[in-house]
């Protein structure tokens, strides 16, 4: 009996010590950048990601440095693929439920949606480092971005339902040829329109303003935007968003 009690006490002590030591480390992991709600990174980084995806946390510039490992393992592990799969599946189920008309289109964003830029971000800290337009542009111009595989699957499914596909991207018009070639190389072999940004027309305007204006044009041309899928809230907010919008995960960067 005595032995059991001693063992039990020892176990409790060991457990509390273990717990305590975790929290002894905790102040060292704290930062003063305003993100930290008082939990260790393994708790608050998932909170951060949920808030980011739900558009509660907006206009952030970089991934908090404490969440570098968390974001990297999220992106490279199964969770990102699984999350992307669920979103694309829901988009497909919705598409299947629609009575399609001739001019029904689905809008797809490109970077982070149709094409993956994870190979770039893997070499640039998964969003922890500030955005470098020069380096990112150079990467885009290589034209070897792979498909986001769950989006590619959905793209083929939507084509199978006879929907027209419109790619609406923040890439500028000077990248038209490389974008066309990259899309085809990655398996996106056909589309109704590929809309790139004219930097003169949209100089200084937000992505929301640009994408809204281009969607308005589509509607004027007689298209009916039934679905719209993007990894940024700026892909799917603003006017004429489509009957339903679908937000793919992206905890690496935020575009207004
Ligand atoms: C941005 O990328 C370019 C090209 O790789 C590099 O020369 C430059 O130093 C980078 N800028 C910063 C601030 O890291």
| Residue 91 and residue 22 share a domain | no
Whether residue 84 is found in the same domain as residue 165: yes
pLDDT for position 37: 64
Residue 21 in contact with ligand 1 by CB distance below 6 A = no
Residue 135 structure tokens: 């380096």
Give residue 83 CA to ligand 1 midpoint distance, Å.
32
DSSP code at position 65: G
CA distance 9 to 201: 73
115 in any annotated domain: yes
Give nearest CA residue, ligand 1 atom 2: 135
Phi, psi of 124 (to 5 degrees): -130, 40
- Tokens 């070499």 correspond to what residue? 123
Would 130 be classed as within a structural domain? yes
| Ligand 1 close to Cβ of residue 134 (< 6 A) | yes
Whether residues 79 and 180 share a domain: the answer is yes
Distance, CA 130 to ligand 1 centroid (Å)?
10
Q: Are residues 165 and 240 in the same domain?
A: yes
pLDDT of residue 15: 37
Are 75 and 25 within one domain?
Answer: no
Residue from 135, 71, 141, 145 nearest 112 by CA: 145
Torsion angle defined by CA atoms of residues 224, 226, 231 and 236, in that order, rounded to the nearest 10 degrees: 60
Residue 8: its pLDDT value, please? 42
The overall longest dimension of the chain from CA atoms, in Å, is 85
Query: Of all atoms in ligand 1, which is nearest to the CA of residue 129?
Result: 14
Residues spanned by the domain of 76: 66-247
Q: Is residue 187 part of a domain?
A: yes
59 HSE (CA, 13 A, CB side) = 1
pTM of the model: 0.86
What token pair was written down for 55? 């558009």
Position 38 scores a pLDDT of 83
Report the pLDDT value the prediction gives residue 180, as an integer from 0 to 100. 98
Separation of 52 CA from ligand 1 center, angstroms?
A: 27
pLDDT value of residue 143: 98
Q: Are residues 17 and 75 in the same domain?
A: no
CB of 132 closer than 6 angstroms to any ligand 1 atom: yes
- pLDDT in tens for each of the 256 residues of the chain? 344 444 443 443 333 333 333 333 333 333 445 556 689 999 999 999 999 999 999 999 999 999 999 999 999 999 999 999 999 999 999 999 999 999 999 999 999 999 999 999 999 999 999 999 999 999 999 999 999 999 999 999 999 999 999 999 999 999 999 999 999 999 999 999 999 999 999 999 999 999 999 999 999 999 999 999 999 999 999 999 999 999 999 999 999 9
Residue 255 forms part of a structural domain:
no
Distance from the CA of 132 to the center of ligand 1, in angstroms?
A: 6
Whether 46 is covered by a domain: the verdict is no
E strand or H helix at 207: helix 207-220
Q: Are residues 87 and 186 in the same domain?
A: yes
Domain count, the chain: 2
Place of tokens 């002590």: 13
pLDDT score, position 233: 98
């Amino acid at each position: 009996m005595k032995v059991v009690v001693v063992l039990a006490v020892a176990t409790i002590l060991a457990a509390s010590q273990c717990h305590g030591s975790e929290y002894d480390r905790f102040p060292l992991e704290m930062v003063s950048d305003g993100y930290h709600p008082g939990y260790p990174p393994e708790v608050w980084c998932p909170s951060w990601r949920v808030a980011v995806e739900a558009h509660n946390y907006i206009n952030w510039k970089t991934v908090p440095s404490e969440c570098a490992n968390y974001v990297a393992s999220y992106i490279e592990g199964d969770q990102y693929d699984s999350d992307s799969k669920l979103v694309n599946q829901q988009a497909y189920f919705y598409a299947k439920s629609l009575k399609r008309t001739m001019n029904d289109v689905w809008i797809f964003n490109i970077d982070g949606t149709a094409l993956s830029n994870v190979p770039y971000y893997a070499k640039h800290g998964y969003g922890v480092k500030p955005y470098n337009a020069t380096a990112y542009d150079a990467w885009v111009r290589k034209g070897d971005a792979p498909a986001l595989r769950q989006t590619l699957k959905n793209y083929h499914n939507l084509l199978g339902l006879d929907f027209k596909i419109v790619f609406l991207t923040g890439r500028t018009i000077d990248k038209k040829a490389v974008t066309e070639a990259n899309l085809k190389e990655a398996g996106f072999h056909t589309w109704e329109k590929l809309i790139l940004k004219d930097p003169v027309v949209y100089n200084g305007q937000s992505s929301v303003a640009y994408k809204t204006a281009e969607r308005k044009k589509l509607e004027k041309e007689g298209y009916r935007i039934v679905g719209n899928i993007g990894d940024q809230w700026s892909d799917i907010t603003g006017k004429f968003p489509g009957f339903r919008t679908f937000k793919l995960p992206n905890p690496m960067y935020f575009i207004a």
